[in-house]
């Protein structure tokens, strides 16, 4: 009898050890834990997304695997609680870490390296200059843990010479980021109404908002300069939204549109800007009301969209990669859809 009890005890101990091991390595049953299940499902999905993105980087001819990865990303990020899930937060961290590593290790010869960051944030680097558009730490998502931490953002700022902020909304303008640029003696260009009641306002560069004037913006403590046309855009009828067209010393040019969705009058400059100036790359907000007309106006060599999957927006206006593909269907201008942290080496024709 004693031997039998000993056997049963030993069996139970071994069994629970196996269960514990499974729990640590791979939990195989999530009954009663819906959030745990969803987090795990996102983790597995995002792991596969990362694998596909690294195997199939951005290219004009997009293989099915990459397109599927971009749509899987939409699926995960359009879950109502996505930004609160540790697996999604990890994904953002990893994607940004990847961009930081590349930024620290990349010297550009010909053309420009372009990094897409969170929401409508981009960093452009040529042989001589590096500048950012709408760099934010993702606080607009209002989810604890879903953020680009200060240390990571500081590492990106270290790599840049200047920052352009389109307009005042939190998914584009981050005061801590702007102050960090200024603290390093690097210019921040923004629309006049950005932080107009804060002390930072007088340190910000407010270029005249007109489409027929080229401003010189000194960077690298005066050693280099960018030329900028600060187009007078708007979000809706009255929110000032700068649409800078930035010319690098190499003669390439890049325009980011912020939340351009202005009144009909804005088409006056949009329709003609590309006829008057060569544009290499346009970074439009994917949801702008008439993206084809915008592209026709700018006549860029390449379009790279932004503003997909802004987690602070409700599901219906969070935008998505699949919707960008749909909206840009039939575009005669080549376009690329990038995930957070991805880069593309643009070489002009």
Binding residues for Zn ion, rule: CB under 5 A, are 171, 259
- Close Cβ partners of 6 (under 8 Å, ≥ 6 residues apart): none
Nearer to Zn ion, 86 or 289 (CB): 289
Compute the least distance from the CB of residue 66 to Zn ion, in Å: 25
Is residue 38 classed as helix, strand or coil in its secondary structure?
helix
Compute the least distance from the CB of residue 225 to Zn ion, in Å: 29
Nearer to Zn ion, 174 or 259 (CB): 259
Compute the least distance from the CB of residue 283 to Zn ion, in Å: 13
How many residues does this entry show for the chain? 349
| φ and ψ of 55, to 5 deg | -80, -35
Compute the least distance from the CB of residue 169 to Zn ion, in Å: 5
Q: Calculate the alpha carbon distances from 304 to 3, 66, 278 in Å.
A: 72, 16, 16
Nearer to Zn ion, 161 or 171 (CB): 171
Nearer to Zn ion, 121 or 274 (CB): 121
Nearer to Zn ion, 42 or 171 (CB): 171
Separation of CA 320 from chain center: 13
Is residue 184 classed as helix, strand or coil in its secondary structure?
coil
Compute the least distance from the CB of residue 173 to Zn ion, in Å: 10
| φ and ψ of 265, to 5 deg | -60, -25
Nearer to Zn ion, 171 or 280 (CB): 171
- Number of Cβ atoms within 10 Å of the Cβ of 29: 9
Compute the least distance from the CB of residue 37 to Zn ion, in Å: 32
């Amino acid at each position: 009898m004693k031997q039998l009890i000993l056997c049963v005890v030993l069996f139970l101990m071994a069994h629970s050890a196996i269960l514990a091991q499974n729990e640590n390595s791979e939990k195989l049953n999530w009954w009663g834990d819906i959030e745990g299940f969803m987090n795990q499902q996102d983790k597995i999905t995002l792991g596969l997304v990362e694998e596909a993105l690294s195997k199939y980087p951005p290219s004009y001819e997009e293989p099915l695997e990459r397109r599927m990865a971009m749509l899987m990303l939409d699926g995960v990020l359009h879950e109502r609680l996505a930004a609160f899930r540790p697996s999604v937060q990890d994904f953002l961290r990893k994607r940004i870490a990847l961009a930081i590593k590349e930024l620290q290790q990349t010297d550009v010869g010909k053309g420009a390296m372009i990094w897409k960051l969170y929401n409508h944030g981009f960093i452009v680097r040529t042989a001589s200059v590096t500048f950012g558009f709408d760099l934010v730490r993702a606080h607009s998502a209002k989810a604890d843990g879903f953020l680009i931490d200060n240390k990571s953002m500081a590492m990106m700022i270290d790599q840049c010479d200047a920052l352009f902020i389109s307009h005042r909304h939190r998914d584009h303008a981050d005061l801590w980021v702007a102050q960090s640029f200024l603290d390093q003696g690097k210019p921040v260009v923004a629309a006049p109404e950005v932080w107009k009641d804060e002390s930072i306002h007088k340190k910000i560069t407010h270029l005249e908002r007109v489409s027929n004037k080229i401003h010189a913006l000194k960077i690298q403590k005066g050693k280099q300069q960018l030329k900028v046309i600060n187009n007078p855009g708007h979000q809706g009828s009255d929110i000032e939204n700068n649409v800078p067209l930035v010319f690098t010393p190499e003669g390439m040019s890049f325009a980011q549109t912020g939340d351009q969705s202005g009144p009909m009058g804005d088409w006056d400059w949009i329709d003609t800007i590309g006829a008057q100036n060569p544009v290499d790359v346009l970074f439009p907000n994917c949801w702008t009301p008439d993206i084809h007309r915008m592209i026709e106006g700018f006549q860029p060599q390449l379009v790279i969209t932004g503003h997909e999957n802004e987690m602070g927006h409700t599901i219906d206006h969070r935008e998505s990669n699949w919707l960008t593909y749909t909206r840009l269907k039939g575009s005669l201008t080549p376009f690329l859809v990038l995930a957070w942290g991805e880069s593309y080496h643009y070489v002009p024709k």
